[in-house]
Amino acid sequence: MAKTNIPQAIRRKGNALIAQLNSGTSPFLYGGKRLKFVSPSLVSIPIGSYRLLCEYRYKWSLKSTKLMHHGAYEDFLYRYSKK
């Protein structure tokens, strides 16, 4: 599958993936796309008929209602899978 602009988009966002948590739910929004937690360290991004899975290898920090990570985007492991 062709490369997407998701890793670059995360890098352009100041090396931060910022997720607005919905009360009582796990899905959140990033760049206008709906993302979904697969586990506390794994995020699923729908792209066409595929999912881009972003795995964060360390820990999230919870501040107010936002989930933030301020490391380099290389801290994420990307892989594709069929929906």
The CA R_g of the chain, rounded to the nearest whole Å, is: 12
Phi/psi for 44 (5° steps) reads: -110, 125
DSSP character for 37?
A: E
Predicted local distance difference test score (pLDDT) of residue 22: 29
Q: pTM for this one?
A: 0.30
Each residue of 26-80: pLDDT tens digit? 333 344 455 555 555 566 655 555 555 555 544 444 333 333 443 333 334 444 4
Lookup result for tokens 């993302």: 35
Highest mean pLDDT among 5-9, 10-14, 21-25, 76-80: 76-80
Q: What is the domain partition of the chain in residue ranges?
A: 6-82
First to last CA, the chain: 14
